[in-house]
Amino acid sequence: MKAEVPPSPDVIIAGAGLIGMTSALKLQQLGYRVRVMDRSEPGRGASFGNAGYLATELIDPLSTPETLCKAPRLLIDPHGPLSLPPRYLPTIAPWLVRFALAARRHSVDSGRTALAALNASSVAAWQRCLGSIGAADELIASGYLTVWEKPGGLGQAREKQRKLRQYGIESEILGHEEVHRRDPGLSQAIQHALLFPNAYQVSDPYRVVQRLVAAFREAGGEIVEASVEDIRVVDDGVVVTSDRGEVNAKHVIVALGAWSRQLASKLELDIPLETERGHHLTLSGRLGALRQPIGSADRNVVMTPMQCGLRIVGFSELGGLFLPPSAKRYRTLKHHAAALLADSSGLENVDEWMGFRPTLPDSLPVIGKHPKHSQVQFAFGHQHLGLTQAAITAELNADILMNKTPQIDIHPFRPDRFNRH
């Protein structure tokens, strides 16, 4: 008997991270035959180890005049949140020039508006996505605290509150006593906080990917372990080449996170995608250490209580895709966690992990069609906000694929925005 050849999919999604899997599920629900291809287990990229927090209040692009002024000081601080290994400097120099140019006032203002629009739609999109597969319990109305130890914190909290209110993001200022009543797990060194009462976290980002995968498979979706190597445009669609051979489809969506640049360049699109290496610690025994995610404004560290334990993340290291994790970063994360927690036990026995945030110089993702080949779409580059923006990106991907007017303006995210016309 001849083996049955599976029919060609309508859509191939390259990459089974949060962006790829939310998009796969959305398109499947709209009636498309979808095949996902990933070279490893779904959700093992950046989506595995993030801080699990829907950071809707992060609407500032990373490149601002203030960041550029602070950068030299941050780079030499041994416990600072930013680092750049000297041997990577020649490789990243052209990207840094673009990053500096993105700090011009008009770029920052338009970037902030674009990020605020994506973030404002993100929680509702996650509620629709997880609600549709019976996984609404993965989303937790936790609230979020930005905390300050230094005396200048109150002024900074007021200023931040004023700025964010202009974008409809509400917060409350808490003094020393109120902070510790809200979360007794925090060190007494914390003086002030800004509470975002409407903020959400997930139970564990990897668990979220697993729930998406299970729902997608249950509805007949295919996930193939394959390393995608090339995309060729043909009259009636695309041919995707991987280490498992060639597959035809009507459309392809490239959602390879930090690894997307190479595939885009095969389609003659030079997208300046870099990576921000991010390290994390997970204290499996300290699940109840905090009541909600905490971000330290002084230390640029986020701690989130998750189902797998207390996760501590920080740092942006502009080191590309090939350098090994840095032991120094793990030590520094422990140093910050010990200062921020009332009880720092468990820090001697932690899980360590490093992942790659996909980041463009203007901090905006790439979401949209190839300018010349409408059968090819891109969805990557969500930097620190890929969990936050995954479900809304999936809805935009579907609108774009169906040639519907997207629910928010996607012009700022166009793939060819860095090319000279």
Binding site for ligand FAD (CB under 6 A): 14-20, 37-40, 44-47, 49-53, 55, 227-228, 255-259, 278, 280, 313, 355, 357-358, 380, 382, 384-388
- Cβ distance 196 to 212 under 8 Å? no
β-strands 237-242, 228-234 pairing: antiparallel
Least distance CB 176 / ligand FAD (angstroms): 26
Least distance CB 132 / ligand FAD (angstroms): 19
Closest residue to ligand FAD: CB criterion: 386
d(C-alpha 280, C-alpha 325), whole Å: 10
Least distance CB 198 / ligand FAD (angstroms): 16
Query: Residue 190 or residue 354: which is nearer to ligand FAD going by CB?
Result: 354
Task: Pull the structure tokens for residue 345.
Answer: 């036990």
Least distance CB 40 / ligand FAD (angstroms): 5
User: What separation in angstroms does the CA of 123 have from each of 70, 89, 329, 381, 404?
Assistant: 32, 37, 31, 19, 22
Q: Which residues pair with 254 in a beta bridge?
A: 14, 378
Sign of CA dihedral 265, 267, 269, 271: negative
Pseudo-torsion of CA 72, 73, 77, 82, nearest 10°? -50
Least distance CB 337 / ligand FAD (angstroms): 14
Query: Residue 21 or residue 191: which is nearer to ligand FAD going by CB?
Result: 21
Least distance CB 258 / ligand FAD (angstroms): 6
Query: Residue 385 or residue 401: which is nearer to ligand FAD going by CB?
Result: 385
Query: Residue 37 or residue 102: which is nearer to ligand FAD going by CB?
Result: 37
Query: Residue 42 or residue 191: which is nearer to ligand FAD going by CB?
Result: 42
Residue matched to tokens 């905090």: 290
Least distance CB 14 / ligand FAD (angstroms): 6
d(C-alpha 69, C-alpha 321), whole Å: 27
Residue matched to tokens 């997208």: 271
d(C-alpha 90, C-alpha 105), whole Å: 27
Query: Residue 192 or residue 384: which is nearer to ligand FAD going by CB?
Result: 384
- Cβ distance 193 to 157 under 8 Å? yes
Query: Residue 190 or residue 360: which is nearer to ligand FAD going by CB?
Result: 360
Task: Count how many residues are written for the chain.
Answer: 421
Query: Residue 20 or residue 319: which is nearer to ligand FAD going by CB?
Result: 20
Q: Which of 172, 142, 411 is nearest to 291 (CA)?
A: 142
Least distance CB 260 / ligand FAD (angstroms): 8
Least distance CB 365 / ligand FAD (angstroms): 8
Query: Residue 191 or residue 318: which is nearer to ligand FAD going by CB?
Result: 318
DSSP for 75-128 reads: HH-TT-SEE--GGGHHHHHHHHHHHHHTTSHHHHHHHHHHHHHHHHTHHHHHHH
DSSP for 324-351 reads: PP-HHHHHHHHHHHHHHBS--TTTTS-E
